[in-house]
Amino acid sequence: MIPIGWTLALSAVLFCIGVVGVLVRRNALVIFMSIELMLNAANLAFVAFARQMNSLDGQVFVFFVMTVAAAEVAVGLAIIVNVFRLRETVFVDEINLLKG
């Protein structure tokens, strides 16, 4: 059996990749994928803990997270498509109308 530490470490690495992806990438679609990465890192941690503690709660929680992620993708993609139709770009540094 793989020790829980390794799984958690993998989860942490995935999460950090996701964070860095959100921070440094310009393409909205890639940023989106990075967010998914972070969500899945959390899922991995849930599953690892569930297994460790012999409880199904963590596994059930993962389903919720995946549902939320699906809904978020539906809304987010719709926004990105509309932004692209309007501005013909998906680069977030060109979408800066909220500048004070």
Partner 1 sequence: MLWIIPALPLAAVALNLLVGDRLGKRGISVLAVGAVGLAFLAAVRAVLALAARPEEERAIVETAYTWMRVGSFSASVSFLLDPLSAVMTLVVTGVGFLIHLYSTGYMWDDPDYRRFFVYLNLFMFAMLTLVLADNYLLMFVGWEGVGLCSYLLIGFWYEKHSASEAGKKAFVVNRIGDFGFLLGMMFLIATTGSVDYERVFAAAPLVFAAGGAVITTITLLMFLGATGKSAQIPLYVWLPDAMEGPTPVSALIHAATMVTAGVYMVARSHVLYLLAPTSMEVVAVIGAATALMAATIGIAQNDIKRVLAYSTVSQLGYMFFACGVGAFGVGIFHVMTHAFFKALLFLGAGSVILGMHHEQDMRKMGGLASKMPWTHLTMLAATLAISGIPPFAGFWSKDEILARSFATGHYGVWITGVLAAVLTAFYMFRLYILTFRGTPRFEEHAAGQLHEAHVAAEQATHGHGHDGGDHGHEHGHGGPVKESPWNITLPLVILGVLSVIGGLVGVGKPWVEAEPWFERWLEPVMGPAAGVPEVHLRHVPVGLEWGLVALSVAVAAFGIVMAFRAYLQQPQLATGLRERFSGLHRTLLNKYWVDEFYQAAVVKPVYEGAMRLWRFWDEKVVDGAVNGVGYFVEGCSAVLRLFQTGYVGTYALFLTLGVLALLLHFLRS
Which residues make up the interface to partner 1 (CB under 8 A)?
19, 22-24, 26, 31, 92-93, 95-100
CB of 80 to partner 1, least distance (A): 12
CB of 27 to partner 1, least distance (A): 11
> Is the Cβ of residue 8 or residue 50 nearer to partner 1 in the bound state?
8
CB of 2 to partner 1, least distance (A): 26
Q: CA 84 from chain center: how many Å?
A: 21
Kindly list the distances between the CA atom of residue 13 and the CA atoms of 8, 37, 58, in Å, as whole numbers in the listed order: 9, 10, 20
Q: Give CA angle at 57 (52, 59), nearest 5°.
A: 75
> Is the Cβ of residue 20 or residue 60 nearer to partner 1 in the bound state?
20
> Is the Cβ of residue 38 or residue 62 nearer to partner 1 in the bound state?
38
Report the alpha-carbon distance of residue 27 to residue 90 in Å, rounded.
6
> Is the Cβ of residue 60 or residue 77 nearer to partner 1 in the bound state?
77
Nearest one of 97, 90, 96 to 76, comparing CA atoms: 90
